[in-house]
A and B are shown apart, each in its own frame.
Chain A
Amino acid sequence: MTIATIFAAIQFNHFSAMVLFAALISVALASLGTRPLAARIRYALWMLALFLIVGIGLAWLMYPLSR
């Protein structure tokens, strides 16, 4: 089994893709900070939570438009 077949077996849905994107962007933006490492980790977690809250909130706001 090659790496490519393992990657092909992993399936994403809308929610998992959003969570993964938010997590990785949070890591990147927190890495730009100049504060100590522990503060940057807290900042990344806080940013991830806000990404998810805003994303799910916007999805519910747009839900009536899809019907």
Chain B
Amino acid sequence: MTHAIGGGLAENAEPDAAPAPQPSSAAAGGDQHPVWVAPMIFIAAWAVPGLGHALLRRWARAAGFFIAVGGLAIAGYMMRGEVFGPHTHESFGTLGFLADAAAGGFYFLAHAIETAGPDISRATGNYGTRFVAAAGLVNLIGAIDAVETALRRRQ
């Protein structure tokens, strides 16, 4: 029994044998993006929740993050939660500002929606503070996921 010189396993395999392994998704190319795109995707995803995924044509994920972040932020403002500014004189205030500002564009809507200012003397106001912070953290998760998707570390 002879085989062609240089023939690979796939060429010598029987017709009913298992197919040759497919190349990995990263090597297959497709919509893999260069590394320099990652910061742009992150900034877009931060500025408008879901925009990072929308640029990658992950429409359902984009809609999910926009609804979640927008809903949390707007509900937090409606509950008159406290929105931290950049110039606080305590460490928890700084952490609060970082969490709130992570909501991107929705952070800058705070003064337009919460015209009466925060009211944390009631339980609802305290809830609102947590809603606004959660909006920022969820948006941060979404932005990181968009970068991971762009670099094909996630599908």
Contact = CB atoms under 8 A, between A and B. Distances in A.
Nearest to A4: B115
Most chain A CB inside 10 Å of its own CB: which residue of B67, B74, B127? B127
B101 interface: no
A31 B71 contact: no
A46 interface: no
Interface string B115-155: 11000000110010011001000100110010000000011
Contact of B145 (A11, A24, A32): A32
A60 interface: no
B55 interface: no
A4 B74 CA distance: 11
Main secondary structure of the interface of A (DSSP, over half): helix
Nearest to B53: A31
Contacts of B75: 12, 17, 20-21, 24
Nearest to A27: B68
Contacts of A14: 123, 127
B124 A12 contact: yes
Nearest to B115: A4
B155 A28 contact: no
9 nearest A-B residue pairs (beta carbon):
A31-B64, A28-B68, A7-B78, A28-B138, A24-B71, A27-B68, A17-B127, A4-B115, A24-B68
Interface of B: 60-61, 64-65, 67-69, 71-72, 74-75, 77-79, 112-113, 115-116, 123-124, 127, 130-131, 134, 138, 141-142, 145, 154-155
5 contacts: A4-B115, A25-B72, A27-B67, A28-B64, A32-B141
